[in-house]
Structure 1
Amino acid sequence: MVKFSNLIDFFDKYDTKFLDEWYHNIQLDSNDIYKDEIKENGLLMYQLVQKTLANSISINELKELAHKVAKERVEANQNIGDFVYNVNYGRSLIINQAFSAEITRNELQLAIERINVTFDHFCYFVVRKYTLLKEQQIEEKNLLINQSHKDKLSLLGQMSSSFVHEFRNPLTAVIGFVKLLKTDNPTLKYIDIIERELDQLKFRITQFLHTSKNEGAQEKRKEILTVHLLLEDIIKFLYPSIVDIDVNVSTNYAKDAFIIANENEIKQVFLNILMNSIDAINKKEKPREITVETILDKQNVLINITNNGPLIPDDTREVIFEPFYTTKELGTGIGLFVCRKIIEKHNGIISCISNEEKTTFSIQLPVLRKETPHLTK
């Protein structure tokens, strides 16, 4: 076995020269908090190369130094690419230095092979540990951000619930008296408009209440619902808005699509998406079109609500169901978030696809099977 004693002695003589040349030519950030450690790490690596040539190195020694360097690179928040450059620059200097030693050609070839293997292992251990530490760091930050986000949502839910409950009590009284006025004076001018706007306000208040965790305790029992009848009710409710901007609404229903759901909540989802569709095509040139269809299979019913409004960009679609994200000037950013919560609570899926010609919101809900024996509260 080749011992490389002449080469090891040669390296002993030139360690200071090597380190100085290496240190003055590497990529080094002046803000690196571990810049004073880098030269020491270079010396340790230089010594490990000598141990490699002397067959006295252990893999644990190499890993220990690699993990130390990886930890420092993460804590210094430095680019791993700079480390790779610096290590390979040191490798090149050592190999060039080996060419100047008085050893045989065979010894030189074997020495270079060992040096390369040592550097390859060292780089692998550093980059692997660096990646693991970075992933752990990112995960911890994401957990912190998510927890902070949840805390803010919870606080906002409590605040909005408190305020909106205060608004809803007098609103209920106003709606009741308007209905009495309409009964006593059916031809009273503007009474239909007032009633519709109050219903819209009640809908918005309900949206806010759905962001409160306590609201779920007050939800009504689920029941058997016919999907196309729910959609027809919402379209009739929105008829004034549809006529106002001259929208052509076409429907294609699977008439025997039944679901088990909370009626008010599912209606809220359909209402929100249809209102958004009307808003999307409001400023579009005619024809303005909305298509509502239901597709039934053995497991699910798919509700597609499509409009020929403007394209929703991919980056917007990725966050469109997140809370407080809105593209509307006066939007709250909770409408689609509440829709997603409701659909997921009903074991369904809501999604959106969009191109230059049309935008489709798809809602998939479990269909009521014939063998379902009964309903539970």
Structure 2
Amino acid sequence: MDKKVGQFLIENEQKFIHFWEEQIIVHHYRDNPELILQNGHLMYHLITNSMLNGFSEEDVKLLAHKVARERVKANINIGEFVYNVNLGRSIIIKYLNLSGLMPEDLQAIINLVNKQFDLFCYFAVSKYTEIKDKKLQEQNLFISQTHKDRLAILGQMSSSFVHEFRNPLTSVMGFIKLLKHEHPTLPYLDVVSQELDQLKFRITQFLHTSKLNMLAESQNEDITIHLLIEEVLEFLYPSIVDGNVQIHTNIDADICITGDRNELKQVFLNLLINAVDAVCEEENLRKIDIQTNIDDHQIKIRISNNGPTIDPEAVQLIFEPFFTTKKLGTGIGLFVCKNIVEKHHGEIECISDNHLTTFQLTFPIKQN
């Protein structure tokens, strides 16, 4: 009976292929219609051969893997491939129903056809997914390596930058101090000193980014958070006043963190400078709120501002190196913050909605 059906399919091959070709989905600008037609013939031959010579799962797998590689190379939606395959299945079964076989004889043949098409789809989609996943992993590896290469280049640039600028900057800052001592009433010295401190801070940012292993050389101590934040706010006082920014604090005086003072100071400097810059984009009331609390045996520090909302897509990338939402930003400040916070066994996250943008830092409580 199977051989009779196989012969019937051979005799009607051209009709079947023509009918199938008229209905399949083909993108002529990306697809190779001749290759698709060739694969249609190969699948049809597998079906007829199984009727004449017996079913071979290995032959089905080989053809499925061939087609999967071609689909990946053509970058064609796998859904369209599955549609075309199942269209072929439907046409074959339709022709089998016209073969004149009795229903009880026909059912076994249809079951065999369905088995081959099911396996073909399974093997093809599995291989397609495997190849796609591998390509995605290769792309992610390339992106990761590109980040490392960019950081390495930045490291070389930063080393040169620090070397060339640190000595003259130190000299200028020293002479400014002498001028303030000898001419305390001389105008603008405070402004110049403030700007030089900001320049020194930016140089330190690059240094931390290019040589993050330097963090391991830091000296840990017990740091009272409210004193450290007060120091940072004092440093930023001219910018806060100039921007007419209101600062509200609710900081527990007893909260302490064990860590490197200079590193943590840089974290709060970065976050508060960003907050000041953000609220200064608003024309209405400009507010920054700093709160601390202990929750579930963890120290939580929240720095919130009512500046512009950060898009959800940007929130996902905001701690990546070189990503910035500022027109003139470097994209390294928050990357440095994340590395310093994680080095102190903490976490940092950004939450932004229509009302507030909050950076939350979470640190473990020191165990005595």
**Within 5 A, what are the aligned runs for 1:181-192?**
181-192=179-190
* 1:374 equivalent in structure 2: none
1:281 to 261, 279, 284: 279
Superposed displacement of residue 123, structure 1: 1.0
In structure 2, the CA distance between the partners of 1:209 and 1:69, relative to structure 1 (3 Å rule), is: same
Asked if 2 retains the 8 angstrom alpha-carbon contact of 1:300 and 1:365, the reply is yes
Tell me the TM-score normalized by structure 2.
0.92
SS in 1 for 2:154: helix
Aligned pairs for 1:153-168 (under 5 A) are: 153-168=151-166
What SS is found at the alignment partner of 1:159? helix
8 Å contact from structure 2 (residues 7, 48) kept in 1: no
> What letter matches 1:102 in structure 2?
G
Report the residue type matching 1:224 in the other structure.
D
Distance change >3 Å, CA 218–CA 176, structure 1 → 2: farther
- Please list every run of 5 or more consecutive structure 1 residues that lacks an aligned counterpart in the other structure: 372-377
Q: What count of residue pairs does the alignment treat as equivalent?
A: 368
2:314 paired residue among 310, 316, 331:
316
Please, which moves more after superposition, 196-205 or 324-333? 324-333
Please give the residue correspondences for 1:10-25 in structure 2 after superposition, counting only pairs within 5 Å: 10-25=8-23
- Where structure 2 has 5 or more consecutive residues not aligned to the other structure, the ranges are none
Q: CA deviation at 1:109?
A: 3.2
Partner amino acid, structure 1, of 2:341: I
In 1, distance between residues paired with 2:281 and 2:26?
Answer: 56
Superposition CA RMSD, Å? 2.2
1:53 Cα shift?
4.1
SS at 1:27's partner residue?
Answer: coil
Alignment of 1:119-130 (within 5 A): 119-130=117-128
CA deviation vs aligned residue, 1:158-204 (integer Å, no higher than 9, x gap) = 11221232111100111111112222222222111111111111111
Aligned to 1:27: 25
Is the 1:254–1:296 Cα contact (8 Å) retained in structure 2? no
**Quick one: structure 1 residues 293 and 255, their matched pair in 2 at CA, closer, same or farther if it must change by over 3 Å?**
same
CA deviation after TM superposition for structure 1 residue 51, in Å: 4.3
Rate the CA distance shift 1:280–1:169 in 2: closer, same or farther, 3 A: same
**1:304/1:360 contact within 8 Å kept:** yes
1:269 alignment partner in structure 2: 267
8 Å Cα contact 1:7-1:102 kept in structure 2 = no
- 2:331 corresponds, among 330, 333, 348, to 333
The answer for the alignment partner of 1:44 in structure 2 is 42
The residue type paired with residue 252 of structure 2 is A
How many percent of aligned residue pairs carry the same amino acid?
50
Q: Is the 8 A contact 1:252 1:293 kept in 2?
A: yes
1:71-115 Cα shifts (integer Å, max 9, x gaps): 221123222123112212211221121122121122223322332
Indicate whether 1:102 and 2:100 are aligned.
yes
The match for 1:226 is 224
- Judge conservation of contact 2:263–2:340 (CA < 8 Å) in 1: yes
Q: Give the SS at the match of 2:42.
A: helix
Kindly report which structure 2 residues correspond to 1:106-121, keeping only aligned pairs within 5 A, or say none. 106-121=104-119
The answer on whether the counterparts of 1:319 and 1:325 sit within 8 Å (CA) in structure 2 is yes
Q: Which stretch of the first structure deviates more once superposed, 290-299 or 201-210?
A: 290-299
Match of 2:300, SS state, is: strand
Tell me the secondary structure at the aligned position of residue 224 of structure 1: strand
TM-aligned CA deviation for residue 28 of structure 1: 3.1
Q: Cα distance 1:204–1:82, how it changes in 2: closer, same or farther (>3 A)?
A: same
Partners of 2:206 and 2:228 in 1: CA distance: 22
Q: 1:286 to 1:214 in 2, by over 3 A?
A: closer
Residues 234-291 of structure 1, C-alpha deviations (whole Å, 9 max, x = no match): 1111112222222221111122222221111110110111111111111323422111
Distance in 2 of aligned mates of 1:71 and 1:283 = 52
Residue aligned with 1:248, SS = strand
Which shows bigger deviation, 32-41 or 286-295? Answer: 32-41
- TM-score w.r.t. length of structure 1: 0.90
Residue 32 of structure 1 and its aligned partner are, at CA, apart by 5.2
The answer for the alignment partner of 1:79 in structure 2 is 77
Corresponding residue to 1:367 among 358, 362, 365: 365
Cα distance between partner residues in 2 of 1:232 and 1:74: 58
1:59 CA drift (Å): 2.3
